[in-house]
Every structure is written in C-alpha cells, then in structure tokens.
Amino acid sequence: MKSTVIANKDFTISKIDGRVYGAFLEHLGRAIYEGIYEPDHPTADENGMRGDVVDLVKKLNVPVVRYPGGNFVSAYNWEDGVGPREQRPVRLDLAWHTSESNAVGIHEFADWCATVGTEMMLAVNLGSRGVDEARNFLEYVNHPGGSYWSDLRIKNGRKEPFNVKLWCLGNEMDGPWQVGQKDATEYGKLAANTARAMRMFDKSLELIVCGSSNPDMASYPDWERIVLEHTYDEVNYISLHMYFANRDDNTPNFLGLAEKLDTYIETVASTIKQVKAKRKSKRDVYICFDEWNVWYHSNKKDREILEGNSGWPHAPGLLEDIYNFEDVLMVGLILNTFIRRSDVVKIACIAQLVNVIAPIMTEKGGPAWAQTIYYPYYFASVFGRGTALQLQVNSPAYATTHAAETPFVDVAGVQADDGTLTFFLVNRHTSESIETEVDLQGFTGGVVIDQQVMTNPDLKAVNTANEQDKVAPRKGDDAKIVGSKLSVNLPPYSYQMVRVR
C-alpha cells in the first residue's frame, strides 16, 4: 500500500503555541500525594518533591500545568492550602469522595513548577464559590504586597508574587457531577462577572471560560454559543475536554475517534466565529483544550473503589489507567490533530501528568517510570515546536462509526525556526505497511537526522514498574531522501517521528 504527502514551504497553517503541549495536575487520587509529593521517598528534595518524577517531567519540556482541578476545584478553598502545614485543615473532597490533607497548596505547587521549569495555569472555584473568592485568590497570587491577601502570602514565606497569567473560570460547569453545576446562562453571567473583576485587577490576564465537558453533552454546542455570548469580550479562550476509550475493543474504530476530535474543534471554532460576528467584535477567542487523553482502563476499578467506598480515604489509587501500545497511536493522533489545528487550538493539557490517567506512574517508596503514551507526548512537545505545515495527504481510507472516510495514514508536519522539518506519522492499518513518500517542495537541505519508530506485535503491551521499557521507541533507519522526496515505510499500527534538515 502507498500514500503520498506534499509539503510545500509556502503552505503553512499557523505558528504553533508551545503551550499546546501543556499538562494537568489535580488533587485527585495519587497525582499530588505519592505522585509529585512524597516526603519519605528516597529521591525527595527538601520540599518533599520526588526527584525521579521531576526528572521525567523535565524531559517532557512541559510549558504549562493546570492546577488544582478538575472537578476538585469546584468545592476547593484555596486558603486551606496556605500557611503552616500543621495548621491546615483536612477537608472532605466531594468530587472524588476522598480526604484532602492540604499538605500541598499553591506555594508548594509553585515551587514544584519552578523546579521542573513550567508555568502555572490556575483554576478558580466557580462551583461552590464565586467572584469574591476569585478576586481574593488573584490578589494573593499576583499582587506584590501592601494589601491583606498579598501580605498574607508574604507572611507565608513568599515575597515575590507568583505572577500567574493563565486562569480558568471554573471547571466543567455543565456537568451534573460538578459541585455547583449551572446552566449556560447562569454560568455565562457568573463567568463574565468574574472575568470583569479579575480584569479590574490586571487587564493582561489570559482567561479561559468553560466549554462543554465533552461533545456528547446534551447542551453541546448551544452551551458554547450561550456562554460566549455572555463572555466573549472578557475571555481569551474557551476550554474543551475530550477523553478517548476503546471499551468494545475495536481498534480501528478507537483510532477513528481522531475524526470526532477534529469535528469537535471545527464546530467550536465555528461557534466562536458566529459569536464574534454577532457581537461585531474585532477580538479573537481561541480554544484551550485543557483536558484530553485516553481514559477507560481504570473505570471498573474506580467504580469498585468509589461504590464499595470505605469512608473518605486520602489519595487512593484512582484513575490509574495502565496504557498500552494502542494508546500510543491514539495519543499520537490527538497531538497531530492539535498541530494541524494550531490556528485555533493555542493551549492544551494532557490529563493528567502523574499517576492519574498519566504518562508517568509511580510506586510509593519505589520507582517512577514512563507509560507507553509518554513517548508520543515527549516527541511532540520537544520537537513539535515552530510552524505547522499545511500538508496535502493522499492515503487509502477506511470507514468507522465516526466518519465515512478515515485515512490510514495520519501526518502532521512542523518546521522549526532553525528550518528543521519534523513529521509525526501514524499508520492505522491493521496488517499492511504503507510506503509513504513526502514531496518536500521548496525546502533546502535534505538529510534525515532522526527517525524514531514505535511498533509492537502486541497492541495491549504495557510498561510496568518491573518492565519499564516493554513499549519504547527505537531508532529507525529506513527513512531516506532522494532528490526532494522523503520516503518512509510505515509498518502496520505504527507511530513514528522523522526529522529532516
């Protein structure tokens, strides 16, 4: 089987906002406790943060991390997480039916972000709270000093403000599972008022309003239209969330979900344009895809933990999906979609980063390791920065329940500022290799400088604490350039990255 791709240096989509490779950490399960924070761990630093996890996160070059939730934020009092640790209250977390010790709060999280070299993206609680909490939290976090909340921050040990620019106005406010769920009008008004108050403090903040929790919500996409009609002039982004599942073990259909993702982005982008036109606005609002990943492996275990609940445990092992090889392909497809839609998707967060539906897993007192999906995320985040190319892809296709035609070959191309070209290629064919030829029109140079391939005879192969490298990339050697044509063989069910200079 063959496919062809045309890459022309004059056909580009957009400069990619590096923040599209962001991540998310919620006070949920073992993401914070035993994930990033474990004071008794042999690798823990003076702040109790696990050094092995820091190393794995640093390699990913994560530009931004969303915190502290998620559903958790909708009944969270940020004040509980500041001040002397021994005086912090233990609270019941209604979202995940657990106890929250508050041993980690905004100060500890900020220090961890500085250690791993990432920016904070904070969410305010618009579920159980509102404008007042948001303005106080903002003053605590960003005001230099001389006011009640900023002086409290200084008293709590942090002289300089944290200077957080990115703020989420609540989380999944359309969801019946959310503490303080609202309808679109109610939420739109609250979000607009909160945004206005926050902008009175600092006009330059980047504010993110909640879109639908997923494209299957009954209120989608009217939710987006109504919420934006209230907030368009006040916000910079609307958030989208989507999780991907292969519950009926149908891999072709699972991988075809990338088409549904593309339609979701296209629909919300059109809604943004509709509201912009209606409001006769000159401003643009973009998409912040601040929760995405494969999520389903742990559903049964979570039901058992939550339904047979034995009280309010602290940091139980919730949402601990163990990812397989097939998920590498799905995550590669999702990231390719974000690159191709970099004209509208400016920020995105893999949900989540450690232990909870995450590329990094840890054992209490034991090792930390890279799950299978760590690798496509790593390749995109490290090498997928620059300008997205408008590729013309001709590939044989197949039908799924999501789209009549899903191409077997999925490609995204990026030109870095130094001219290096990087292609991310996924072959969705069950059994056939696909010879792919990329016509490099107008680009100078022509040497393959790297080829990283991920294949596996077992779609369900996983990495574990004992077998950490069962699914890992290997260096490829068959990508070649002859004249202006790059040829590369895509084995069945494979992911690869090819770089050309």
Shortest separation between residue 321's beta carbon and ligand AHR, angstroms: 11
User: Which residue has the CB atom at the shortest distance from ligand AHR?
Assistant: 70
Shortest separation between residue 318's beta carbon and ligand AHR, angstroms: 9
CB distance 93 to 75 below 8 Å: yes
| Among residues 20, 21, 23, 26, the one that binds ligand AHR under rule CB under 6 A | 26
Given the complex with ligand AHR, which of 140 and 167 has the nearer CB atom?
A: 167
| Among residues 23, 29, 35, 71, the one that binds ligand AHR under rule CB under 6 A | 71
Active site residue 291: yes
Shortest separation between residue 73's beta carbon and ligand AHR, angstroms: 8
Given the complex with ligand AHR, which of 70 and 211 has the nearer CB atom?
A: 70
Distance CA 342, CA 190 (A): 29
Residue 117 has a CB neighbour count (10 Å cut-off) of 12
SS3 374: helix
Distance CA 96, CA 117 (A): 29
Given the complex with ligand AHR, which of 26 and 320 has the nearer CB atom?
A: 26
CB distance 166 to 208 below 8 Å: yes
CB distance 24 to 113 below 8 Å: no
Site for ligand AHR in 255-284 (CB under 6 A): none
Distances (CA, A) of 315 to 33, 46, 101, 234, 297: 6, 22, 9, 36, 19
Shortest separation between residue 270's beta carbon and ligand AHR, angstroms: 24
Rule CB under 6 A: say whether 342 interacts with ligand AHR: no
Given the complex with ligand AHR, which of 317 and 396 has the nearer CB atom?
A: 317
Rule CB under 6 A: say whether 70 interacts with ligand AHR: yes
| Among residues 101, 171, 231, 452, the one that binds ligand AHR under rule CB under 6 A | 171
Catalytic entry in 26, 38, 133, 172: 172
Residue 151 has a CB neighbour count (10 Å cut-off) of 14
Distances (CA, A) of 332 to 23, 58, 258, 400: 15, 20, 10, 18
Candidates 7-15, 64-72, 105-113, 227-235; binding stretch for ligand AHR (CB under 6 A): 64-72
Given the complex with ligand AHR, which of 12 and 352 has the nearer CB atom?
A: 352
Candidates 53-61, 65-73, 99-107, 403-411; binding stretch for ligand AHR (CB under 6 A): 65-73
Candidates 63-71, 386-394, 402-410, 454-462; binding stretch for ligand AHR (CB under 6 A): 63-71
CB distance 3 to 394 below 8 Å: yes
| Among residues 101, 236, 246, 352, the one that binds ligand AHR under rule CB under 6 A | 352
SS3 209: strand
CB distance 430 to 492 below 8 Å: yes
Candidates 67-75, 104-112, 246-254, 437-445; binding stretch for ligand AHR (CB under 6 A): 67-75
Shortest separation between residue 377's beta carbon and ligand AHR, angstroms: 16
CA 399 from chain centre, in angstroms, equals: 28
Shortest separation between residue 67's beta carbon and ligand AHR, angstroms: 12
Shortest separation between residue 62's beta carbon and ligand AHR, angstroms: 16
Rule CB under 6 A: say whether 335 interacts with ligand AHR: no
Tally of residues, the chain: 501
Given the complex with ligand AHR, which of 109 and 383 has the nearer CB atom?
A: 109
Distance CA 136, CA 125 (A): 12
What is the crossing angle of helices 148-155 and 131-142, to 10°? 50
Place of tokens 């940020």: 78
Active site residue 108: no
Candidates 45-53, 69-77, 119-127, 469-477; binding stretch for ligand AHR (CB under 6 A): 69-77
Given the complex with ligand AHR, which of 349 and 479 has the nearer CB atom?
A: 349
Write the DSSP assignment of 51-96 as a string of letters: HHHHHHHHHHT--EEEES-SGGGGG--GGGGSS-GGGPPPEEETTT
Shortest separation between residue 480's beta carbon and ligand AHR, angstroms: 42
Amino acid at 204: S
Shortest separation between residue 245's beta carbon and ligand AHR, angstroms: 13
Q: Please state whether beta strands 22-24 and 64-67 pair in parallel, antiparallel, or not at all (unpaired).
A: parallel
What stretch of H or E contains 151?
helix 148-155
Rule CB under 6 A: say whether 358 interacts with ligand AHR: no
Write the DSSP assignment of 24-54 as a string of letters: E--SSTTSTBTTTB-TTSTTB-TTSBBHHHH
Place of tokens 């250690």: 115
Rule CB under 6 A: say whether 172 interacts with ligand AHR: yes
Shortest separation between residue 213's beta carbon and ligand AHR, angstroms: 6
What's the Rg (C-alpha) of the chain? Answer: 23
Contact string 450-479 vs ligand AHR (x = CB under 6 A): ------------------------------
Ramachandran area for residue 365 (φ above 0: left; ψ -120 to 50: alpha; else beta): left
Rule CB under 6 A: say whether 69 interacts with ligand AHR: yes
Q: Token pair for residue 316?
A: 């139980």
CB distance 27 to 76 below 8 Å: yes
Q: Which of 460, 462, 498 is nearest to 480 (CA)?
A: 498
Given the complex with ligand AHR, which of 172 and 410 has the nearer CB atom?
A: 172
Q: Kindly determine how many residues on this chain lie close enough to bind ligand AHR according to the rule CB under 6 A.
A: 9
Site for ligand AHR in 290-309 (CB under 6 A): 291
Catalytic entry in 26, 139, 291, 320: 291
Binding residues vs ligand AHR (CB under 6 A): 26, 69-71, 171-172, 291, 351-352
Q: Which residues are catalytic?
A: 172, 291
